[in-house]
Chains A and B, each alone.
Chain A
Amino acid sequence: MTTDQNKEVVRRFFRAFEDQDETAMTSVLSPDLQAYVHGNAEPVDRDTMLQAIKGWNTVFSGTSFTLEDQVAEGDLVACRVTMHAVHSGGEFQGIAPTGAPITSESLTLERVVDGLIVERRVATNWEDIRQQLTAVSSQPQAAG
């Protein structure tokens, strides 16, 4: 596999995430996937991560990713990605949905072997997302 093909595998993953297409996600994620997300030291497996994505999609809608940068070397692919989503479906860290949009930038590092993502590390600023939502729900509600 070339680094360009590896980059393409990671792009397919983001696209499948956007489309909420679980079959397509499974087709690029190794059954032995180890995902280091949410700043946890311990990795989670593929099913747990897919479950988490499903959970995300019930809370946030319209999730889209803009790939700002993508570099690859060997079997590693690194991305800087901006995510847009709307908090419309359910509670997030105790905040009820208000339909407010969020924007967040993440750094991800994927290891791709034989066309499958076997390892994934994601750094996201969750505190920033929480603050974006808090700012909205604590607005006073009077006109004028």
Chain B
Amino acid sequence: MAQVKAQILETTRPLTARESEVAVLLSEGLGSAEIAARLNIAPSSAKWYLRQVFHKLGVHTREDAALRARQLALSDPADAPVGPEPRPPGAAPRPLTSFVGRERETLELLSWLDEGATRLLTVAGTAGSGKTRLALTVAAKAGEGSRRPVYWTDLTATASPQLIGSTIASALGVFIKPGQSETAAIAEHIGSTPALLVLDNCEHMARDCAKASVGLLADCGALHILVTSRVPLPVEASRIWLLDPLPVPASEELPLEEIAASESVRLFTERASLALPGFAVTRQNAAAVARVCRRLDGLPLAIELAASRVRLLTTAQLAERLEDALGLLTGAGSVGAQRHATLRAALDWSHGLLSPSGQALFRRLSVFAGGWALEDAEAVCPGGMLEPADILPALSELVDQSLVAVERPSGGTRRFRLLEVIRQYADERLRSAEERSLLRRSHSARFAAVAMEARGELTGPKQPAWTQRLEQDKGNLRAALAWGLDAPEGLESGAEITCTLAQVWQLRGEFAEGLMWHRRYIARSHALPRRVQANLHESTGFLAVHAGLGDEARSHWEQAAAIFAEVDDPAAVGRQLHYLAHATMGIDAPRAAVLAARGLALEQEAGDQWWTSACLFALGDASFILGDVDKAADCYSKSQVLARRLGHAFAIARRFVRLGQVARTRGDLEGARRHLGESMRVAQTGSDDWGVTMALAAWASMAASVGSPRTSAMLLGAAQGRLDQYGAVLWALDRAEFARTASTVGALLGEDAFRGCLAAGRTLTPQEIDSLVNELLEPQRPEALAGYAVSPAIRLTPREAQVLHLIAGGMSNQSIAQDLGLSVRTVERHTANLYMKIGVEGPAARTAAANYAFRHGLGPEQDKLAIPRQSPPLRR
């Protein structure tokens, strides 16, 4: 009920709270006396409220008002218990009208699903023959009782063949990892279990849809793909299934029962009774209904258009007028051409009967790609004779006339759409009225505004709702982006949409699409204000680095920094330097330190606390990698103070990770436990997946330091599992530490045991991970060192310490000799001496020595930070 009210309140001439209550009761079929009783108001007041509601809904009778309210979903009692649950990704849309006939076809298609021979099938037929509705019915039945997952993708609004893969992926809610192909990501999602994928409206890209389908079928052994298209897919492997229009009565003279049983007549009757409750085929009207259906070739869409007129015309009048409208059609051409001509004539006829404002709205709605919400139409379509307040009544008229389809609400918003063939017809009208340019401009402005609004919300608590909204408006956003590239006046708002959506593309892994739009806008950017150019470079860098294209990212940030410097925005320059520092960290730490320090100076000067904290963090990382642990500690502490002041939970968790790593490196295991414990707690509370992953990797090193190599390897596995799931790579510092820890515990456990632990770690539940970490929070006897007596008084020479450290890194004497530029004999002597000093011997001496090494802060993870190596063993 709350949702019902909210929707009423969003209309142009808003209903008051009382009027909303009245409208809801009205739509439930109550009369004015009953409404008065229910609301406890005087009957005359109820009547007065009713008049207000009629006026605002643009209707004159109670019947119309109730109908309108129901059709526009101002009230939909049947939906109420369901609530605004979002549709799961890939679920088929649910039309409001029922499906009539086609029993045989439905059964045939369902039995095809149980065959293994040809797993690709095209339902082909002329526009308006009911392909989509049939596919929807098959999809619903195929998924009944969860017999198999059914995925639905509408390709209508996808104009570019490169976007087929990402459209399917996003309809299914599949995250594409950087570097992964869309087909591979979708195939991974679907797997080898029996499933049905429906690709609706493929005709405009038949060749490319064929290619995509063949690829998916090869990867998913039990997948069936059902395609709807006006033209068959041009592949051998596709079965073509031609859908004829509905059977019509063989003659108008047949007995009533036979006429009424014909599928086309059943459809006519069903749709007519929506417009005129109680409509039925009778002895009086049977011949006329049969004539209408025959004249319309049994084309479902044409029949729906005609049936919606029965409120004003008797069936005899309807048949007569259709005769006139269709009379000019010749019988020339193929069957397909005849059906096409029939449908065109039916559309012309239906359109001709619309009110002037209905016609205006109708053609203007063609500017939407993939549907719209009422507020979108109200923002985009007014102009000339069409006032904002006319939109709702005009939309009602189009819904009444079956020209606009209403979808069941998903996620709280009712959406409308034009069937593709009707949209194409409306688009022709829009072009002839010379309004297309104008409408595309206001459409683009509307979706630029939607994107802007989303930008603020995407990091907040409403993020899921906004992500869904942007997903629903994907076609519209793409249309606005395409228009911005075409029209000089749209370039700037298009560029701003592009920058705004960067985060959405990144969140969904749609790097290919995001980078495509960014590159296209950058190619046109000479005509843009410098600041917008810089923003474009900044967000391109953001997408590129997440897509694993480091070089491209750096080049864009450098350009952004140059432009921001030119327009005198030092804080923005500092931000780019911060990005550059992070992106340079893994390849050139000294340079990263310089960049971070310069960024820090700019941000401090500008007084931006957040970016100051970020630059301090980057400078800390660079210093840590360069072995200046004190400086790193200082940077992280200062950075943490600012993060706490700003209350940014993500940042706080990550700084705790670093403080923990610093403490461990300094041998302060107690401090390390405390900081890492905090990092895990804050990250988990804030649902910060990345923070948890970083903390797990740090805990793995901690486990190694306290002599629990098995736990360490399992935590490494857990962290790696999470990284693989997101297709992410750890930051440079964590990556290097990960590699060092892995080589240490690998050497300790032996290859097989190490691999086993890694694999086990991947399958740990969050609870199991928690308990592993909790054990580490308590100081305990290290598992591998039990039994060895160790004396802190033992003094190793610097060379011996160095050799020990390399032994702990898993190196052979031969490679140690190479590394240090010594002979193997010399290394063997050092080894023998240090074995003796630390008291290990026998066949397990080497392993025991490694154990000793990291217990005493001589393990590779502790001091390699201080000794830059030529090629650190990075594990990506």
Contact = CB atoms under 8 A, between A and B. Distances in A.
Contact of A8 (B434, B436, B437, B488): B488
A67 B486 CA distance: 9
B243 A143 contact: yes
Interface stretch (B33-41, B421-429, B639-647, B715-723): B421-429
A56 to B, nearest CB: 13
Nearest to B526: A4
B242 interface: yes
B427 A139 contact: no
Contacts of B437: 15, 19, 21, 24
Contact of B436 (A18, A66, A99, A132): A18
B337 A139 contact: no
- Counting chain B CB atoms within 10 Å of each CB, the highest count among A88, A96, A99, A137 belongs to A99
A136 B341 CA distance: 15
A61 B337 contact: no
Interface string A1-45: 000100010010011001111001000000000000000000000
B336 A141 contact: yes
A141 B424 contact: no
A96 B332 contact: yes
A24 B488 CA distance: 14
B334 A144 contact: no
Nearest to A57: B431
B783 interface: no
A62 B427 contact: yes
B274 interface: no
Nearest to B207: A103
B509 interface: no
B333 A96 contact: yes
Contacts of B339: 98
A142 B242 contact: yes
Nearest to B201: A101
A62 B244 contact: no
A84 interface: yes
B339 to A, nearest CB: 8
Interface in B336-350: 336-337, 339-341, 343-344
A42 to B, nearest CB: 31
A99 to B, nearest CB: 4
Given A61-B428, A84-B204, A88-B344, A138 B231 contact: no
Interface in B505-535: 526-527
A103 B203 CA distance: 10
B241 A11 contact: no
Interface in B299-341: 332-337, 339-341
Interface string A116-144: 00000000000000001001111111111
A67 B520 CA distance: 10
Nearest to A85: B204
Given A18-B436, A96-B333, A101-B231, A86 B242 contact: no
A100 interface: yes
Contact of A99 (B207, B230, B232): B230
Contact of A144 (B234, B241, B527): B241
A99 B127 contact: yes
B212 to A, nearest CB: 15
Interface in B120-157: 124, 126-127
Contacts of A142: 242, 244
B198 to A, nearest CB: 19
A141 B336 CA distance: 8
Interface size of A as a range = 35 or more
B159 interface: yes
B535 to A, nearest CB: 20
Given A20-B434, A84-B204, A101-B231, A137 B242 contact: no
B552 interface: no
B343 A99 contact: yes
B482 interface: yes
B236 to A, nearest CB: 14
Contacts of A24: 437
B21 to A, nearest CB: 45
A11 to B, nearest CB: 6
Nearest to A2: B526
A101 B205 CA distance: 9
B725 interface: no
B126 A98 contact: yes
A108 interface: no
A95 B105 CA distance: 30
A14 B486 CA distance: 9
B103 interface: no
Nearest to B440: A19
- Counting chain B CB atoms within 10 Å of each CB, the highest count among A62, A132, A142, A143 belongs to A143
Interface string B174-206: 000000000000000000000000000001110
B790 interface: no
A136 B434 contact: no
Contacts of B203: 100-101
B484 to A, nearest CB: 12
Contacts, number: 110
Main secondary structure on chain A at its contact with chain B?
mixed
B159 A84 contact: yes
Nearest to B127: A99
A20 B159 contact: no
B160 interface: yes
A120 B159 CA distance: 26
A88 B340 contact: yes
B105 A143 contact: yes
A144 B434 contact: no
Nearest to B102: A143
B780 interface: no
A138 B334 contact: yes
Contacts of B232: 135, 139
A139 B427 CA distance: 27
A29 B234 CA distance: 39
B244 A141 contact: yes
A62 B126 contact: no
A64 B334 contact: no
B520 to A, nearest CB: 9
A86 B527 CA distance: 33
Contact of B334 (A14, A67, A86, A96): A96
Nearest to A65: B486
A100 B339 CA distance: 12
Given A86-B424, A140-B242, A144-B108, A100 B230 contact: yes
B432 A20 contact: yes
Interface in B427-453: 427-428, 431-432, 434, 436-437
B307 to A, nearest CB: 21
A139 B205 contact: no
A69 B631 CA distance: 51
B487 interface: yes
A61 B204 CA distance: 13
Contact of A97 (B105, B108, B340, B486): B340
Interface string B467-494: 0000000000000001001111000000
B523 to A, nearest CB: 9
Contacts of B244: 141-143
A141 B207 CA distance: 22
Contacts of B343: 99
Contacts of A136: 230-231, 336
A75 B29 CA distance: 70
Contacts of A97: 337, 340-341
Contacts of B428: 61-62, 88
A98 B339 CA distance: 8
| Closest A-B pairs by Cβ, 4 of them | A96-B333, A96-B337, A98-B336, A143-B244
Interface of B: 105, 108, 124, 126-127, 159-160, 203-205, 207, 230-232, 234, 241-244, 332-337, 339-341, 343-344, 421, 424, 427-428, 431-432, 434, 436-437, 482, 485-488, 526-527
18 contacts: A4-B526, A8-B527, A14-B486, A15-B486, A18-B436, A24-B437, A66-B482, A98-B339, A99-B230, A101-B230, A103-B204, A132-B231, A135-B231, A135-B232, A137-B333, A139-B124, A141-B335, A143-B241
